[in-house]
A = this chain, B = another copy of it.
Amino acid sequence: MKHSPSMSSCDSCSNKFETIFKHLTQEEHDMISLDKNCEPYKKGSVIYHEGNRISGCYCISSGIIKIYKTGIDGKEQIITFAKNGDIIGFRSVLSGELACTTAKVIEDSSLCFIPGDTFIQLFKQNREFSMDLMQLACKELGEANAYITDIAQKTVRERLAEILILLKDNFHLDNEQFLQITLTREELANIVGTATESVIRLLSEFKSDKLIELHGRRIKITDINGLKKVGNIF
């Protein structure tokens, strides 16, 4: 590894090469490495804005990015979180459309940039990469369908319980059973699609019901099955 000063971040991207980039040839591998521009991003910085044209994709080597869309009153609707190993921006790059979401750093991150041209060339020349990427898009489509149905049909209580379980699944619990992602109540509300106060009240209820414990913004999940039951998760 030539990138000795940021070796840890590039190692992380190499790990990602075992997933979406796992079928690249060594030459293609180098092609990305050559173009790769691994940069640190501070909490709060914006990777790309909704409505802008994106010049390339980003591979996340560390940190957490929230992907959200802004609605009519300027309220955020968080669509998903991207973490170590995920790619963001591929939708706009491949479709040639403007970004339909904004990507903002919620935990100091390190991202590797892949120019759009390179990405598209890879897609076109490596059938396995294109298949992997297609499968990723299809998986995301399936998740979106579920998200739509849940927002439309589940109560806010059910939704919040479900979100906590999803956060556990995506970011895992540490040794003390705390979620390893820290969100404001407003951010949780922006995932659930409800008012901040409603989230605060429900978290308080979940705490009373011994489903979770609250330590400042840190959330300890104490009864996973209880939460699954509340969230109607099967």
CA distance A79 to B152 in the complex (A): 11
CA distance A135 to B13 in the complex (A): 26
From B95, B138, B151, give the contact of A142 (CB < 8 A).
B95
User: Which A residues between 85 and 140 are near B, CB-CB below 8 angstroms?
Assistant: 90-92, 94-97, 100-101, 123-125, 127, 130-131, 133-135, 137-140
From B123, B153, B232, give the contact of A134 (CB < 8 A).
B123
Contact B153 A79 (CB under 8 A): no
A154 near B: Cβ within 8 Å? yes
Contact A77 B153 (CB under 8 A): yes
Residues of B within 8 A of A139 (CB): 95, 97
Within the complex, what minimum Cβ distance (angstroms) separates A207 from chain B?
25
Contact B145 A69 (CB under 8 A): yes
CA distance A110 to B157 in the complex (A): 43
With A72-B154, A151-B151 given, is the CB distance from A131 to B138 under 8 Å? Answer: no
Q: Offer 8 A-B interface pairs, CB within 8 angstroms, sorted by A.
A: A69-B148, A71-B149, A75-B153, A77-B153, A94-B131, A124-B127, A140-B141, A148-B148
Smallest CB-CB A-B distances: 3 pairs: A152-B193, A95-B138, A144-B144
